[in-house]
Structure 1
Amino acid sequence: MSKPSWIKAEISAFWAMVRKELIIMARYPVNFIASFAQVFLIVAIFTLGGSMFYKDYSSQAGSAGNSGIAVYGFILFMFMGDTLWTIGYNIRNEQVQGTLEQLYLSPASKFANLVSRVTNTLIWTGLLSITGGVLMTLMIGDLPFKNPLLGLYLLVMVLSGTFGIGFAFAALTLVIKEAAQTLANFLQFAFLVLCANFFPFSSLPPFVLFFSRLLPPAYGVDAFRSALMGFPDGMPELAPFPVEFTIVTVFGILMPIVGYLFYRWSEKLARKRGSLSSY
């Protein structure tokens, strides 16, 4: 197959798999509505719970700082959580259903199958994030919005790195199988705490803050909301902004590559073991 024909075939396979993901999403309207209701509950619980940490911080960031901390952290939390489930654990669902094994028996692009989930996450989670952000702004107050281009760049880099984590988790799912559901729940909660999505990092105990400094997504959360809030006094909290900017950029560039290579290694291992369709 010539190179132009190969590229055309890859793009065609990618869009076919994207349509498949969107059709599955549209086939369950009750789940669609329930997702927005779930977002409302998450917003209410974590916004009110996190507000107890805002008192000391509001003197530094101003009255608008409270909403900026929670809303911008919430947006990244939604993508982190959905990445684990949509990109990562859904591989397990296809494994149980037998469609994953059928995919590997066909000439369809395996890379397109994995990346097509990113499109679904961007559309679905993007809608939920916008809805949740509006709700949180109404509950907390005016939302600061400064340095939009810098914020957009940081968001793209954080999402790119987060999708890389999803690829790596998909690889791990092929190995640990059913235990992946428990691990996904644990990791989602760990990201929530260590990345301080709904409260300032200064609220974390020192020993927890130590682990936060080991996670690139935590620097992404800190840099993203610091930039959009206009760098109020005391922000960013984890490191000087140039350092955080560098960490987030490297994370966004390297993590998708590392995650995909890990996935390829894991799928080859599963094929050798004959466990692609095993429960």
Structure 2
Amino acid sequence: MKRSPIITAILSVFKKELKIFLRYPSWFIAMLIWPIIFPFGYLFTAKALSGTDGQSLAAFSNISGTSDYISFMLIGTTMWMIMNTMLWSFGTSLRTEQIRGTLESNWLCPVPKITILLGHSLWEIFFNIIFLTITAIEFKLVYNFKFIGSPLLSFLIIIISIPSIYGIGFIFASLVMWQKETNSMVFLVRGIMSVFCGITYPLAVLPNWMGNISKVIPLTHSISALRSVISTGATLADIKSQIYYLIFSGIILMALGFLAFNFTQRKVKESGSLGHF
């Protein structure tokens, strides 16, 4: 049976990204190192600030609902690393093609142009599955990470978080291609996520206005649901409101991502700036 041109294009982008990754094996070393060194500073800072009498740990437990601050921070920093990777690689994928001088030739292919981003999406999902597997193993070996709840439910949370994460990626990739600016936009978006999503601290410590903003960001609900399941053994019924929000926000953000891509397509076509540096 003949394969659809759209499927062929998506798989071609995936194979291309895989070949580039295998061409530079040192990138694999980063996958081994970052899960260990990134949470390291946060964990030891928390331990230093908690003092020796355990009073701070009791206060943390009252606010967060768990005394396991290590797992609390490891879950938050892992989701932040996934978001950061998405912004840098997937979010800037079209801009990278511009810099390489390959975007215009890819744009001439007789397939919907959105397949370029869909191919990158498939690669990022594959990459993050490997990354999460390595991370889980290293967390257990290095930090004695404790998994109390259901692994299947945790996996479900990650799966339904994908549309919202990659919806943001579609919007980001489109705007970067149009504005030709990467670094400042990445720093802005990931900075907002790190402040408002409670990566390393309970959201209860935020002022009310910041807490209200944090509730709008899907990553906040992903992290909160994972912490509830992994650290306290919450069930599907306990986190159903967060599940519903992730599904709803995923649909909205993916739709906005497609709209942003179509809008950018028209803008660069009108201005003739598709291949501009």
- The TM-score, its normalising length taken from structure 2, stands at 0.84
Give the aligned partner of residue 171 of structure 1: 174
Q: Indicate the residue corresponding to 2:13 in structure 1.
A: 17
Query: Which region of structure 1 is more displaced relative to structure 2, 154-163 or 216-225?
Result: 216-225
Q: Say if 1:157 and 1:251, in contact at 8 Å, map to a contact too.
A: no
The equivalent position to 2:124 in structure 1, one of 121, 124, 142, is 121
Partner of 2:245: 247
Greater alpha carbon shift after TM alignment, 205-214 vs 18-27: 205-214
| Residue 113 of structure 1: how far off its partner (Å) | 1.3
Q: Does 1:209 align with 2:207?
A: no
User: What's the C-alpha RMSD, in Å, of the aligned pairs?
Assistant: 2.6
Q: Deviations over 1:226-264 (max 9, x none)?
A: 1233367xxxxxxx8443232112012332222122112
Where do 1:49-88 residues align within 5 Å? 49-51=45-47, 52=49, 55=57, 56-58=59-61, 61-63=65-67, 65-88=68-91
Tell me the TM-score normalised to structure 1 length.
0.84
| Conserved? CA contact 2:157–2:226, under 8 Å | yes
Q: Does 1:195 align with 2:197?
A: yes
Count of residues in Structure 1 that have an aligned counterpart in Structure 2: 267
- Does residue 32 of the first structure (1) align with residue 19 of the second (2)? no
Name the structure 1 match of 2:39.
43
Question: Counterparts of 1:106-117 in structure 2 under 5 Å?
Answer: 106-117=109-120
Give the Cα separation in 2 of the matches to 1:89 and 1:28: 19
1:206 Cα deviation after fit: 4.0
8 Å contact 1:161–1:253 — kept in the other structure?
A: yes
Partner of 2:146: helix, strand, or coil?
A: coil
Sequence identity percentage:
23
Other structure's SS at 1:229 match: helix
Q: Structure 1 45/26 Cα, relative in aligned 2: closer, same or farther at 3 Å?
A: same
Q: Matched residues in 1 for 2:16 and 2:10: separation?
A: 10
* 1:92 counterpart = 2:95: yes
CA separation of 1:31 and 1:148: change in aligned 2, threshold 3 A? closer
Q: After superposing the two structures, state which structure 1 stretch, 87-96 or 136-145, moved more.
A: 136-145
Unpaired runs of 5+ residues, structure 2, are 51-55
Matches within 5 A, 1:220-259: 220-230=222-232, 241-259=239-257
Distance 1:167-1:156 versus aligned 2 partners, 3 A rule: same
CA contact 1:74–1:129 (8 Å) conserved in 2: no
Q: Which residue of 2 aligns with 1:236?
A: none
Q: Judge conservation of contact 2:14–2:122 (CA < 8 Å) in 1.
A: yes
1:103 aligns with 2:106: yes
Corresponding residue for 2:275?
277
Matching residue's letter, 2:190: Q
- Inter-partner Cα distance in structure 1 for 2:66 and 2:274: 53
Q: In the alignment, what sits opposite 1:260?
A: 258
Gaps of 5+ in 1: 233-239
Residue 153 (1) aligns with residue 166 (2): no
Q: Is the 8 A contact 1:66 1:140 kept in 2?
A: no
Q: What is the CA–CA distance in structure 2 between the aligned matches of 1:41 and 1:75, rounded to whole Å? A: 11
Deviates more, 1:269-278 or 1:184-193: 184-193
State the alpha-carbon separation in 1 of the partners of residues 151 and 136 from structure 2: 16
CA distance in 2: counterparts of 1:35 and 1:151, whole angstroms = 21
Amino acid at match of 2:87: L
